[in-house]
Amino acid sequence: MAAEMVNPRSDSTSGSGEGAEGVTDGEPFDPAFALHRGGKMAVQATVPVRDRDDLSLAYTPGVAKVCSAIAEQPELVHDYTWKSQVVAVVTDGSAVLGLGDIGPEASLPVMEGKAILFKQFGGVDAVPIALDCRDVDEIVETVARFAPSFGGVNLEDISAPRCFEIERKLQERVDIPIFHDDQHGTAVVTLAALRNAAKLTNRALGQLRAVISGAGAAGVAIARILTEAGIGDVAVCDRKGVVSPDREDLTDVKRELAGFTNKAGLTGSLEAALDGADVFIGVSGGTVPQDAVAKMAPDAFIFAMANPNPEIHPDVAHQYASVVATGRSDFPNQINNVLAFPGIFAGALQVRASRITEGMKLAAAEALAAVVADELSADKVIPSPFDERVAPAVTAAVAAAARAEGVARR
């Protein structure tokens, strides 16, 4: 299977008044609709079927020999099918990009795009799968049943807190890696950028106090990986303020979060928590008042990653911070998940890992940071997604970590 770009058709295929550009006739040309017409992927055979001999090998009777061998030795499925090279990209369409709950059909263009990024940046084939169900156990059961066809599953754009339970339950059911990219991909890239920002300013992670705006999938995962990496302290804020043990409105996930964050015992608002903080990490949207930003510690780091509107606009952030990052491609230091997930899966598939561990994520972050460690500047604490060194470095680090942690099977 190959994730290929498909040229948009030039003919009008709809009787509803839509032209070749995928918009109503008479409307200005829109390149996004033109690019997406017909989808962005195709299936491509990797072996020829030119004559009877080819057919007899690719299908019956030749295929029967391979099937019988796999039946006797199930591990051979990795060698004689696509299983060890392909990932399922699974969503229910409940939390898509900045669009929210748009449903499975509307999520497909994003899942196709994700599959293309897997191929382009990691050499990993991927299949987009949009599920028409929202129940946690139904999703787990569905994915577990088709898991034998894949070497890993990338969960995508599933709303919190269901995403945490789906990932946990699914990993308990299957022995292939389950990875919720909205959580862990974001966390890996954030940690890599923060490591380099600290290095640039001659500080260690252990000296930093961070405040995260957003206690959803990304916020929880970032807090966890920063804690694993040795951050000095990190407080997470939701709409009601700092997530702390004294609050009586916490979900199970937030209660667990309160147990390993906020050593300083902060309470109250996000703005209050920012007073004297070294790091702001935004994964929530909204706007942080400038007077709160002004109270951060000198040489602060501001990673305002909401799209399309960062929580703190870079023009404001640069007045107070030594390093500024966003989730946007039109500003320096883009925190982009594509820097992480292709290499992470490529490394896991390479060694037939049964899961992706915290150690593998930390190794990915360290490798990603190291790519530009000798080129650091305030505008370059993270590589470009188009830096060809990224995927090989992350892949090798993740494969080595999987072996070290005993989850590799070759």
Residues forming the active site: 59, 114
Residue 405 assigned ligand-binding role? no
In 173-289, where do the E strands start and end? 178-180, 209-213, 233-238, 241-242, 279-282
Greatest CA separation for the chain? 75
C-alpha span between 175 and 173 (Å, rounded): 7
- CA distances to 59, 61, 114, 226, 353 from 56, rounded to whole Å, are 5, 6, 35, 54, 33
The DSSP call for residue 301 is E
Residue 154 marked in a binding site:
no
Q: Give the distance, in angstroms, between the CA of residue 290 and the centroid of all CA atoms in the same chain.
A: 30
- Give 334's DSSP letter: B
Residue 307 assigned ligand-binding role: yes
Among 37, 33, 32, residue whose Cα is nearest residue 6: 37
Q: What is the DSSP string of 55-118?
A: HHHHSTTHHHHHHHHHHHSGGGHHHHSSGGGEEEEEE-SSSBTTTBS-HHHHHHHHHHHHHHHH
- Token representation of residue 337: 């998940």
Tell me how far apart the alpha carbons of residues 285 and 271 are, in angstroms, rounded to a whole number.
14
Number of CB atoms found within 10 A of residue 133's CB: 12
Burial (Cβ within 10 Å: 0-12, 13-18, ≥19) of residue 306: buried
How, if at all, do strands 86-91 and 152-155 pair?
parallel
Sheet of strand 321-326, all strands in order from the earlier edge strand to the far edge = 241-242, 233-238, 209-213, 279-282, 300-304, 321-326
Report whether 190 contacts 124 (CB < 8 A): no
Number of C-beta neighbours around residue 113 at 10 A: 17
Q: Please state, in angstroms and as integers, the Cα–Cα distance from residue 285 to each residue in 148, 194, 281, 292, 377, following that order.
A: 38, 20, 11, 16, 27
Would you state the structure tokens that stand for residue 167, as one six-digit string? 């990932």
In the annotated binding site for (S)-malate, the residues are: 307, 336
